[in-house]
């Protein structure tokens, strides 16, 4: 006896980042085990996907529990319809990923800035930096990502382009957001970001229709805390611009550290091409799940995660 049509399972689960193979495995296993239909266990399984912590071990455990339980068709349909309503009313979570750009050329060539006086604040990635970005892209390749929102500096554009190139979903757009760029005190006046025409050379997935939070950056105080208000406002507004899908923000160490201060109350730096995971309860609250993760990188040394000291708050 079939519980529901397989296409319903696909339509229900694919938007939640579930791979088609796992969906079919779950569908087939559930349909073959007639007594394995407990709504509580299915709820655990469903929520594990929302939290994106699903594993093969948890799948096997849930299947074992399902086998020992009993669930009527009416119970399953009730859970299914409730879950559909839950998704459609967007009362669940989504993920905002934070990624710092890869290794920049002036990290290894100490004369680069002196030799490039007209763009000293806009170094490109090294070969290692591009490899780091490629490995970040591999990490996200099978995930359902709606958009990549990036600082306009070349090192972030290159990182974003590498990530987008690895994704199975070629509809993922790259949106250029000046609000996520470096603190102004670390930049030229005006900042030496490339033109949109130049940026488009890095990827065909650049979204020219995107309207940034900041067309022109406001004045800000010097120091690493000076950009905090601008970065936090950008973070909040970008979350509103993309209200339902998972997104990746590619930025710099200092802006991302200021996002950590917004989320957790204290400033914390990140390594190059490390990944941070933030769960967004659709505007109700943000939860930091992990910070500066580097397990996806083949080389985890010299990521410059201690490059900046924790800035001191200004005296009252």
Residue positions in the annotated binding site for substrate? 100-107, 155
- With both helix axes pointing from N to C terminus, report the angle between 127-140 and 154-166 in degrees, rounded to the nearest 10: 40
| Chain Cα centroid distance, residue 125 | 20
Q: Tell me the binding residues.
A: 100-107, 155
Provide the token pair at 253.
């160490």
163 cis-preceded (ω within 30 degrees of 0): no
Q: Residue 14 and residue 6: Cα distance in Å, rounded?
A: 12
CB 79 within 8 A of CB 12: no
From the CB of residue 302, how many other CB atoms can be counted at a distance below 10 Å?
12
- For residues 51, 53, 55, 57, the Cα torsion angle rounded to the nearest 10 degrees is -100
Sort residue 141 into left (φ over 0), alpha (ψ -120 to 50) or beta: alpha
Phi, psi values for residue 246, rounded to 5°: -75, 140
DSSP 168-234: S-TT-EEEE-GGGS--GGGS-SS--PPPHHHHTTS-TTB-TT---S-SSPPP--SSTTTTHHHHHHH
């Amino acid at each position: 006896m079939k519980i529901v049509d397989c296409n319903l399972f696909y339509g229900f689960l694919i938007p939640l980042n579930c791979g088609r193979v796992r969906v079919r495995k779950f569908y087939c296993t559930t349909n073959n085990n007639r007594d394995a239909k407990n709504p509580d266990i299915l709820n655990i399984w469903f929520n594990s996907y929302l939290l994106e912590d699903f594993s093969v071990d948890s799948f096997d455990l849930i299947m074992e529990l399902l086998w020992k339980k009993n669930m009527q068709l009416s119970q399953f349909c009730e859970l299914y319809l409730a879950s559909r309503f839950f998704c459609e009313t967007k009362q669940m979570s989504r993920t905002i990923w934070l990624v710092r750009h890869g290794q920049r050329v002036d990290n290894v060539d100490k004369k680069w800035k002196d030799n490039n006086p007209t763009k000293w604040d806009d170094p490109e990635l090294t070969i290692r930096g591009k490899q780091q970005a490629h490995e970040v892209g591999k990490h996200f390749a099978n995930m359902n990502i709606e958009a990549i929102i990036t600082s306009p500096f070349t090192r972030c554009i290159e990182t974003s382009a590498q990530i987008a190139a690895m994704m199975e979903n070629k509809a993922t757009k790259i949106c250029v957001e000046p609000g996520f760029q470096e603190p102004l005190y670390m930049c030229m006046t005006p900042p030496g970001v490339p033109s949109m025409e130049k940026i488009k050379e890095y990827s065909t997935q650049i979204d020219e229709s995107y309207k940034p939070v900041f067309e022109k950056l406001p004045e800000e105080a010097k120091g690493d805390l000076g950009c905090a208000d601008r970065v936090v406002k950008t973070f909040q507004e970008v979350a509103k611009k993309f209200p339902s899908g998972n997104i990746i923000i590619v930025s710099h160490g200092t802006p991302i550290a200021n996002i950590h201060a917004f989320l957790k109350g204290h400033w914390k730096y990140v390594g190059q091409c490390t990944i941070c995971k933030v769960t967004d309860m659709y505007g109700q609250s943000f939860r930091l799940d992990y910070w500066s993760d580097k397990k996806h990188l083949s080389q985890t040394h010299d990521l410059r995660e201690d490059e900046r000291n924790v800035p001191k708050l200004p005296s009252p």
